[in-house]
Amino acid sequence: MWKAHLIFFICSALSNIFDIHLEAAGSQLLPVIGKGQMSVVAKLFRLMGKEPVALVDADGIADGTALVSGYLVENTYADELASDFGAATANDMATDIYNDFCRLVTNEWNSIAILAAQHPYWINKSQDDDLIVSKRRATFCTLFTHEDQLLPQQFLSIKRRLTALLNILEKSGLFILRKGSIESYYLTSDQNTSIGKPNAAIDEIDAFYSINKSDLTTSYGDVIRCITHAAMTQKISEAEALRALILAIVSPAHEVFKSDPTSTHFNALARSILGGRSEMFDLAVKNDRLIVAIKSNILDVDSFPVELSRDDSVPQVINRALGITS
């Protein structure tokens, strides 16, 4: 039960430290208990018109492809990415890589056992745990917690293939904690004895504020990429919504600007269209150009203010400024 909440607390703290404003971008962190529920929850959110982004322990991929398939099946974007690696579909790519990984663990365990035995997945396994499952988990994480020169040569190819798959999954909204569970990312609390302990997570979070950001980025890179992606995913939707607001006021303002060079009442026009929401924008004429600025402290759009001449296409200029290609 505590596992999902620990990840939630860590993500919340890191988003604050790195100024990743999930709430302002329209995103929300939601703990989900049980990886078996993740695909169901993701499907539910998609039906609601949302874009779910998931962060799961390494066993989410080391134990099988069920969760992965939930993000890759009938995913044309992922299929296109997988085609660069010669795969018919992304799910086919995932299945082939996972099967080869499992065979390699079975056949070459002895060559990586010394390294894998140092991982918490192996150290903390119980007598009731399936031994081959523990081997797969520990081996997977060992690949991503050690430099290539320390790994057995026969595991380097599968590491590259897994990395390619993980990158496609991240672009599809599924992020894997490559080091294991969230405790394997701790910089101050003991990684082997902190599993599922809230106090250890609290101590770790307290230490964040005294740790150099570059060290946090190095250790928690998987987590930071996830919350950054979540914010960016919503920013794309935000850009679409922002475009609708801007075009609602700039298109008529531009028509006035073209027909009456002396007019200065653009903000009044915007207010008549958008009401209080017009306070986010400022329209003015300077050097014979219509200047459109964003005044909101929450919205950070580097390409604004924009300038429009009388001959400019308003949709094209605004799309370009917002990074919208269609």
| pLDDT beneath 70: ranges in the chain | 1-5, 23-28, 30-37, 44, 47-49, 193-194, 196, 233-238, 296-300, 325-326
> Which is nearest to 240 in space by CA: 323, 317, 171, 308?
323
Count CA atoms within 13 Å of residue 268 on its CB side: 4
Q: What's the pLDDT at 36?
A: 67
Q: Which residues contact 195 (CB under 8 A, 6 or more apart)?
A: 120, 124, 181, 183
Positive or negative torsion for Cα 125, 130, 134, 137:
negative
Q: What's the pLDDT at 122?
A: 96
pTM score, whole prediction:
0.70
How far is 34 from 20, CA to CA, in rounded Å? 26
Q: What's the pLDDT at 98?
A: 99
Q: What is the average pLDDT score of the chain?
A: 87
How far is 195 from 126, CA to CA, in rounded Å? 13
Q: What's the pLDDT at 265?
A: 84
